[in-house]
Amino acid sequence: MEMVIPKEARDMFGIKPGDTLVILGDAERGLAIPPKEKFGEWISAVFDGGAR
């Protein structure tokens, strides 16, 4: 799926053309794009059972 994110938003959030993003959606709250640097931490917490 291809999606266009306005330049202003890409600049604000450090998104570069061609970046792979994870988009989370909720019917009531809308869409969210987690920060790239935090997503890896979240995945590690899930697979490590939340241990830190």
Tokens 């959606």 correspond to 25
**Residue 42 confidence (pLDDT):** 77
**Residue 50 confidence (pLDDT):** 55
Name which residue leads in pLDDT, 44 or 27: 27
| 21 CB-near residues (< 8 Å, 6+ apart) | 15, 33, 36
pLDDT at 28 over 90: yes
Query: What pTM was estimated for this model as a whole?
Result: 0.52
pLDDT at 52 over 70: no
| Domain edges within the chain | 7-47
